[in-house]
């Protein structure tokens, strides 16, 4: 897809062309049309994803109509550091070269008088660090009542640097109905609270780090027969030194099946997919973050937008259907300079080959093939391991949860797991229909066929 489909004006498109960009990055493709429509945006993205152009380009078009008034900037961009503020100013100059927009920088280390002069002339775009902006505001040199667009960039860095109270103050002082574009690479609770308070029904856009920065991640590919995928996965799970890992499947159905299968094989695992209640998802995430479970079997949809911690391993049980998802998935490991491993399981099918080609084209590097994984016989073979259904596991879970005779139990699925050793069952193991409402008094005939496979 080219830039011309995003709704930008011809002069802006000409500037983009001059910058040498042929295709929008994923965040640009998603954010620019929404921004032009006036929606609030919550962008979970970090530097290097092209996020600066994702807000500067539409802002240039929106601000091209209307005029700035003295001391009343029409838009405000908050940046945590002078350097970032200066980079954003460069972007406005580069992309706005065919427009007549006025701009001012309010950053520390620059003379107040000069900055005041610029404000007096009236500015369309004000780029500022929070402290310096408040200084000007408190000296009465600046009004925030004319702001149509507010950008909070690198919010998590602002948090690290102790700027969040200042950001909050600034947001509270912009009383006019305005559009807010909010960017952060991660979403710690303080930032989440801020977005809830100041964003109005935002369009949430999450993008992975660009593939080119993933050099702390060892990426590998293993090809097996379609019926051997789970066995290969188990073998790798046993042979790799795994601190914690996420196993991504393309479909919810597969998430459930792989999860059930791993549980049968006594791995410490939880599941995360779109069919689960929000409370169940949060609980399993909590268990994963607190190392109560080692593995998480997840779909892309469920994993997106959630603050999943850094993991040592990512397994792609399926080659992802979209190459972007591959980058997003593997971006869960190898963060902040730590080493990570991403292993993709593929089959010889035409579909897998096509998807792999797309991944390798995007990441611009062929995945390292593991040729020597010899599938070993497993010592304990649970009775059933087919793709057909998970009914039996549910019954087995049910049996294991049946209260001991003569002892009443009030333990519920929502209760936290004990910390010692891997938890016996995650809350989402609780049988749903047809046992709903039966509580612990499950009729014996429902349990009759259950056998323990030891
Ligand atoms: P940012 O994430 O905004 O810091 O951008 C990272 C780098 O990507 C900058 O050097 C931009 O000039 C460059 N960039 C932004 N958008 C594109 C694009 N669509 N195509 C190629 N490079 C881009």
**pLDDT value, residue 343:** 94
Pocket of ligand 1, beta carbon within 6 A: 21, 23-25, 28, 47-53
Do 167 and 194 form a contact (C-beta atoms < 8 A)?
yes
Q: Write down the pLDDT at residue 308.
A: 62
In a domain, 74, yes or no: yes
Domain end marker among 370, 386, 412:
370
Give residue 241's domain range. Answer: 217-370
Residue 413 in any domain: the answer is no
Residues linked to residue 342 through DSSP beta bridges, in sequence order: 219, 314
Tokens of 201: 């029904």
What is the DSSP track for 194-240? HHHHH-SSPEEEE-PPPGGG-TTEEEEEEE--GGGHHHHHHHHHHHS
Looking at the structure of the chain, the number of domains it has is 2
- Going by CA atoms, what residue is nearest to atom 6 of ligand 1? 48
In this structure, the residue with its CA closest to atom 21 of ligand 1 is 21
Bridge partners, 249 (sequence order): 299
Ranges of residues in the chain whose predicted pLDDT is under 70? 48, 208-215, 278, 301-309, 335-338, 372-373, 379-454
Question: What local confidence, expressed as pLDDT, does residue 136 receive?
Answer: 92
Residues 154 and 178 in one domain: yes
Instruction: For a ligand 1 pocket test, name from 6, 27, 52, 127 the mutation site with the most ligand atoms within 8 angstroms of its C-beta.
Output: 52
Same domain for 234 and 308, yes or no, is: yes
Report yes or no on 411 lying in a domain: no
pLDDT at 112: 83
**25, 26, 80, 362, best to mutate for ligand 1 pocket (most atoms within 8 Å of CB):** 25
Helices (H), 46-129: 51-63, 82-95, 112-121
443 found inside a domain: no
Q: How far is CA 101 from CA 75, 122, 189, in A?
A: 11, 10, 36
259-280 pLDDT, tens per residue? 999 999 999 999 998 788 767 8
Contact 94, 15 (CB under 8 A): yes
In three state form, how does the secondary structure of 369-406 look?
A: EECCCCCCCCCCCCCCCCCCCCHHHHHHHHHHHCCCCC
Burial class (CB in 10 A: 0-12, 13-18, 19+), 131: middle
165 shares its domain with 238: no
Q: Does residue 401 fall inside a structural domain?
A: no
Find residue 78's DSSP bridge partners: 128, 152
Q: Are residues 200 and 249 part of one domain?
A: no
Quick one: which atom of ligand 1 is closest to the CA of 46? 2
Element (H, E) at 428: none
Distance from residue 361's CA to the centre of ligand 1 (Å):
19
CATH of the domain at 323: 3.40.50.300
In a domain, 258, yes or no: yes
Answer whether 235's CB lies under 8 Å from 376's CB. yes
Of 316, 347, 370, at which residue does a domain stop? 370
Specify whether the CB–CB gap between 229 and 349 falls below 8 A.
Answer: no
Q: Are residues 73 and 162 in the same domain?
A: yes
- Residue 207 CA to ligand 1 center (angstroms) comes to 14
Ligand 1 centroid vs 195 CA: distance in angstroms? 25
Same domain flag for 199 and 233? no
**Among candidate residues 129, 125, 173, 168, the one with its CA nearest the CA of residue 149:** 125
192 and 300, same domain (yes or no): no
pLDDT tens, position by position, 16-73: 999 999 899 899 999 999 999 999 999 998 776 789 999 999 999 999 998 899 999 9
**What pLDDT does residue 401 have?**
35
Do 233 and 152 fall into the same domain?
no
Look at residues 149, 175, 206 and tell me which one is the last residue of a structural domain: 206
Q: What is the pLDDT of residue 56?
A: 98
User: Would you tell me how many other CB atoms lie within 10 Å of the CB of residue 139?
Assistant: 10
| Same domain membership, residue 221 and residue 192 | no
Cα of 36 from ligand 1 centre, angstroms: 19
In a domain, 25, yes or no: yes
First to last CA, the chain: 55
- CA of 29 from ligand 1 middle (Å) equals 13
Please indicate, yes or no, if residue 45 is contained in any of the structural domains.
Answer: yes
Residues 10 and 46 in one domain: yes
Q: Check: CB of residue 319 under 8 Å from CB of residue 355.
A: yes
Indicate whether 103 and 180 sit together in one domain.
yes
Residues 170 and 268 in one domain: no
Whole-number pLDDT of residue 374: 73
User: Ligand 1 atom 16: the closest Cα is on which residue?
Assistant: 50
pLDDT recorded at residue 83: 74
């Amino acid at each position: 897809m080219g830039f011309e489909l995003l709704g930008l004006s011809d002069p802006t498109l000409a500037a983009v062309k001059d910058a040498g960009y042929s295709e929008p990055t994923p965040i640009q493709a998603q954010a620019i049309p929404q921004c032009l429509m006036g929606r609030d945006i919550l962008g979970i993205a970090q530097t290097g994803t092209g996020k600066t152009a994702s807000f500067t380009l539409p802002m240039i078009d929106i601000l091209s109509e209307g005029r700035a008034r003295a001391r009343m900037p029409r838009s405000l961009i908050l940046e945590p550091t002078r350097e970032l503020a200066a980079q954003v100013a460069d972007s406005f100059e580069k992309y706005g070269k065919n427009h007549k927009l006025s701009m001012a920088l309010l950053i520390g280390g620059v003379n107040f008088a000069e900055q005041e002069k610029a404000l007096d002339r009236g500015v369309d775009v004000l780029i500022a660090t929070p402290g310096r902006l408040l200084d000007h505001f408190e000296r009465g040199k600046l009004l925030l009542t004319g702001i149509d667009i507010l950008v909070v960039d690198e919010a998590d860095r602002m948090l690290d640097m102790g700027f969040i109270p200042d950001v909050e103050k600034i947001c509270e002082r912009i009383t006019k109905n305005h559009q807010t574009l909010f960017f952060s690479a991660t979403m710690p609770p303080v930032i989440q609270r801020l977005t809830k308070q100041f964003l109005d029904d935002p369009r949430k856009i999450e993008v992975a780090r660009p593939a080119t920065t993933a050099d702390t991640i060892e990426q590998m590919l293993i090809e097996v027969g379609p019926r051997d995928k789970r066995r290969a996965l188990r073998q790798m799970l046993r042979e790799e030194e795994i601190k914690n890992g996420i196993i991504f499947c393309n479909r919810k159905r597969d998430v459930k099946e792989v999860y059930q299968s791993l549980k049968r094989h006594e791995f410490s695992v939880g599941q995360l997919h779109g069919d689960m209640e929000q409370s169940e998802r949060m609980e399993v995430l909590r268990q994963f973050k607190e190392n109560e479970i080692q593995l998480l079997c997840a779909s892309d949809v469920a994993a997106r937008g959630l603050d999943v911690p850094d993991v040592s391993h990512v397994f792609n049980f399926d080659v992802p259907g979209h190459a972007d998802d591959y980058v997003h998935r593997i971006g869960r490991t190898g963060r902040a300079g730590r080493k990570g491993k991403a292993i993709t399981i593929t089959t010889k099918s035409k579909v897998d080959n096509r998807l792999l080609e797309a991944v390798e084209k995007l990441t611009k590097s062929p995945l390292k093939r593991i040729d020597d994984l010899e599938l070993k016989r497993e010592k304990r073979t649970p009775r059933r391991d087919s793709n057909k259904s998970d009914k039996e596991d549910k019954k087995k879970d049910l049996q294991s949860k049946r209260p001991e005779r003569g002892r009443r139990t009030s333990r519920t699925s929502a209760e936290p797991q004990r910390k010692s050793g891997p938890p016996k069952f995650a809350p989402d193991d609780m049988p749903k229909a047809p046992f709903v409402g039966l509580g612990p008094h499950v009729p014996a005939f429902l349990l009759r066929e259950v056998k323990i496979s030891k």
